[in-house]
Amino acid sequence: MVFEDIYETYWQKIFRLCMGYVNDPDLAQDLAQETFIIVWQQLPKFRNESGIGTWIFRIASNNCLRQIEKEKRFSKTDLPINLEEKKQESMEPQILLLYQFISELPETDRIIISLELEELKQAEIAQITGLSESNIRVKIHRIKEKLTQKFKHNGY
């Protein structure tokens, strides 16, 4: 498979996955770009042991988890006071709220629901996360319940 085709096929999915982790469009774009740099560098070594999509999602997930670890080390209070958070008017309020709720979930739940939202098969999600398929099924059900409760709590 040619890199340009991979990029075209997976860019939006990887961006949305990253949004689920960081709930920040600029950072999500950076993480997605870093993911594709790694994909481009590692593509010659890809051995088709899993599907190309599974491989790319695993790279993106690891990349996002590394970012979350970095953020834990540097608290946001270390930032200069004059930096204001940018509001994203381009996205629908419910979508922004969904990203916010997903970003509040534990790390493993974030990856699972983000992959589920990308319509990956549960077997693939299991392969990416290293969990069993039955465990994935139960977790997806519980995560959806948590998210539904958060929406209800916020008047949706």
Q: What is the dihedral of CA 147, 148, 150, 154, to 10 degrees?
A: 140
Q: Which two tokens stand for residue 136?
A: 């994935």
Spell out the residues 6+ positions from residue 62 whose beta carbon is closer than 8 angstroms to its own: none
How far, in Å, are 13, 61, 120, 140 from residue 137 at the CA level?
A: 21, 19, 12, 5
Cβ atoms of 78 and 71 within 8 Å: the answer is no
Q: How far is CA 123 from the centre of its chain?
A: 18
Spell out the residues 6+ positions from residue 66 whose beta carbon is closer than 8 angstroms to its own: none
* Pairwise pLDDT comparison (94 vs 34), residue with the higher score: 34
0.75 cut: is pTM over it? no
What's the length of the chain? 156
Mean pLDDT of the chain: 84
State how far the Cα of 144 lies from the Cα of 74, in Å rounded to an integer. 30
pLDDT at 138: 96
Q: Which domains does the chain have, with CATH numbers?
A: 3-153 (1.20.140)
pLDDT at 103 over 60: yes
What percent of the chain stands above pLDDT 90? 47
Q: Which two tokens stand for residue 60?
A: 């993106």
Question: What are residue 104's phi and psi, to 5 degrees?
Answer: -85, -10
Per residue in 43-97, pLDDT tens? 998 888 788 998 999 899 888 888 877 776 654 444 444 444 444 445 687 888 8
